[in-house]
Structure 1
Amino acid sequence: MDTLVQATVNGLALGAQYALLALGFSLVFGVLGVINFAHGAFYVLGGYFTYSLMTGLGLPYALALIAAVLGVAAVGYVMELLLIEKIVDNHEGTLIVSLGFYFVVIAALTLFYGPEAVPVRFPVDSVLRLEGFYIPVARLIVIAVSAVAVLGLWFLLYRSKHGIALRALSENRDVATMQGLRPRVYFPLAVALSAALAGLAGGLVTPIFTLEPPVGEAALMVSFLVVVLGGLGSLVGAASAAVGVGLVEAIAGTYLDGSLTRLLLFVIVLALLLFRPSGIAGRSLRDA
């Protein structure tokens, strides 16, 4: 039971990370209709920006993380304006361009920082000792910060005029445009917000695990898997699937070999999609 409790906490921390990634991925698809393969690059940039601000400027971790999230959001905003804006309705084109952007970012990071992991560490390494088991405080911080970010996203989308505009554009772009909403204003904001969520996940998690250019591949794969499982365009589905995937991965990984854990995860996903092809909650942002 103690092992199960520890695995559950680890699973919730993983699920929180996956939720940040999946919500951003789902947001861009819901608003722009774009499968953004640059999402893994935003995750890695969040980690490297945080590391550079801590080591280069000597900023405390919390300030470095906030500045890194803003920096990654700016990168996402510029990427949408320069690369996605003119071909936003060309789904194959946006997929290729976003994937190309990912490879360019990873190549640049590898050239600048090298292919090996950089020595970045989460500033809190204490352990919460309870009867029979131990819980790393870093995991609890990841869960808490992610929960605040998810609540902030919910408030933005459902309690602000900008959120109403984003949801209107996701529901029917033509009608929303006739009502005076300008996609050229809100599309970059949606990508910036998505990038900020991925950058936050990268800045939070990579110091706990490892920070090296290839970690973006795993982040991209998990984002896509969770969004498909949750239902494309559904924020509730993405968040629910993220927590479920995190718990399955952590609990199964405690008792099974790593390769078997991945196999079990994909079997569960395939089985669920057979019975519900649209995912857990394949709905629009308006209904999410």
Structure 2
Amino acid sequence: MTAFIATAMIGLSLGSQYALLALGFTLIFGILGVMNFAHGAFYALGGYVAYAAVSHLGMPYPVAVVIAALVTGAIGYVFELLLIQRVIDDHLSTLMLTLGLSMLITTGLVGGFGAESPEFKFPVEGVLEMGPVRVPLSNLITVAVSACIIGGVYLLMFKTGFGRALRALASDRETASTLGLRANLMFPLAFSIATALAGVTGALVTPILSLSPHVGEPVLATSFIVVILGGLGSLWGEVAAAVIVGLVEAYSSVYLGGSRGALALFVLVLILLIVKPSGLFGREVRGA
């Protein structure tokens, strides 16, 4: 039972990571209609920005996390404004642009920091003992910070005029534009928020797991699974799917092993999508 509860905490920590990544991914895809294959690269970039801020500039880790979000958000804003905006309705062009950006970021990280994983540790060590269960404090902090950020994204998207404007543009861009909403101003901001979410996730998680130039590739695939499983456009659907994927990944890895664990995750996703093709909360997309 002790191992079971400890594994649940690992799953929740993974789920919080996947939730933040998936929120950024679905913001770009749901609002702009762009499949951002550079999302994983922004995750890795956020980790390296935080690492550089702590190791080379001597900044406190919380400040480094904020800087990682600002840097990745700024790059995302400029990239959307100068490139994506010009071909936003050409899905093949946007796909190639995001793939190219992913390769550019990864190559830049290899050139700047090397291919080896640097020493980047979470600043808070120790465990919280709850009876026989010992939970790393780093995992608890990650879950708590992720929950706060997810709550902030919810308030932004559903309780502010900016969020309502973005959802209106996602639902019917032509009608929203005739009502005075300017997509060329709103879309770069949406892209910036999404890439900032990827960057802050990398800054939070890579000190706990690992940091390398290619660390974003597997999390990109998992983010895509979470987005499809949760139901495109549903914030709480993404969160629920992320928690499910994190728990399945944790338990299957512990009790089944690496390769069997990965197979169990994909089998679960296939079963759920066969039963409910629109995802766990697919109806919310149409009602949003």
**Structure 1: which 5+ runs fail to align?**
none
Letter in structure 2 aligned against 1:187: F
The yes-or-no answer on 1:19 pairing with 2:16 is: no
The yes-or-no answer on 1:278 pairing with 2:278 is: yes
The yes-or-no answer on 1:232 pairing with 2:232 is: yes
Mapped partners of 1:273, 1:219: distance in 2: 20
Tell me if structure 1 keeps the 8 A contact 2:41–2:214: no
User: Counterpart in 1 of 2:29?
Assistant: 29
Tell me if structure 2 keeps the 8 A contact 1:27–1:235: no
Mapped partners of 2:64, 2:259: distance in 1: 35
1:105-157 residue CA offsets vs partner (Å, 9 max, x unmatched): 10110111111101110001111122112100000000000000000000101
Tell me if structure 1 keeps the 8 A contact 2:53–2:64: yes
The yes-or-no answer on 1:64 pairing with 2:64 is: yes
Shift, 1:18, TM fit: 0.1
Tell me if structure 2 keeps the 8 A contact 1:168–1:286: no
Mapped partners of 1:15, 1:252: distance in 2: 14
Shift, 1:287, TM fit: 3.4
TM-score, scaled to structure 1: 0.97
1:186-228 residue CA offsets vs partner (Å, 9 max, x unmatched): 1001110001111111000000111001111012111111111
Mapped partners of 1:71, 1:84: distance in 2: 18
User: Counterpart in 2 of 1:163?
Assistant: 163
User: Counterpart in 2 of 1:43?
Assistant: 43
Mapped partners of 1:218, 1:179: distance in 2: 41
The yes-or-no answer on 1:212 pairing with 2:212 is: yes
Shift, 1:283, TM fit: 4.7
Shift, 1:72, TM fit: 0.8
Shift, 1:285, TM fit: 5.4
Tell me the SS of whatever aligns to 1:280: coil
Letter in structure 2 aligned against 1:101: L
User: Counterpart in 2 of 1:177?
Assistant: 177
Tell me the SS of whatever aligns to 2:128: strand
1:227-258 residue CA offsets vs partner (Å, 9 max, x unmatched): 11112222222111111100111122221111
Matches within 5 A, 1:69-88: 69-88=69-88
Relative to structure 1, the CA distance from residue 228 to residue 243 in structure 2 (aligned partners, 3 Å threshold; closer, same or farther) is same
Relative to structure 1, the CA distance from residue 108 to residue 6 in structure 2 (aligned partners, 3 Å threshold; closer, same or farther) is same
Tell me if structure 2 keeps the 8 A contact 1:226–1:242: yes
1:18-59 residue CA offsets vs partner (Å, 9 max, x unmatched): 000001100111110111111011101110000011112110
Relative to structure 1, the CA distance from residue 285 to residue 27 in structure 2 (aligned partners, 3 Å threshold; closer, same or farther) is farther
The yes-or-no answer on 1:145 pairing with 2:158 is: no
Tell me if structure 2 keeps the 8 A contact 1:30–1:284: no
Letter in structure 2 aligned against 1:269: V
1:258-281 residue CA offsets vs partner (Å, 9 max, x unmatched): 111000000010111112222112
Relative to structure 1, the CA distance from residue 3 to residue 246 in structure 2 (aligned partners, 3 Å threshold; closer, same or farther) is same
Tell me the SS of whatever aligns to 1:117: coil
Count residues with an aligned counterpart: 288
Mapped partners of 1:283, 1:63: distance in 2: 39
TM-score, scaled to structure 2: 0.97
Tell me the SS of whatever aligns to 1:135: strand
**Structure 2: which 5+ runs fail to align?**
none
1:54-81 residue CA offsets vs partner (Å, 9 max, x unmatched): 1121100001111111111001101111
Letter in structure 2 aligned against 1:19: A
Mapped partners of 2:83, 2:99: distance in 1: 11
Tell me the SS of whatever aligns to 2:129: strand
User: Counterpart in 1 of 2:250?
Assistant: 250
Taking only the aligned residue pairs, the percentage that are identical comes to 50
Tell me if structure 1 keeps the 8 A contact 2:232–2:285: no
Cα RMSD for the two superposed structures: 1.2
Letter in structure 2 aligned against 1:256: L
Tell me the SS of whatever aligns to 2:164: helix
Tell me if structure 2 keeps the 8 A contact 1:51–1:120: yes
Relative to structure 1, the CA distance from residue 286 to residue 168 in structure 2 (aligned partners, 3 Å threshold; closer, same or farther) is farther
Letter in structure 2 aligned against 1:120: F
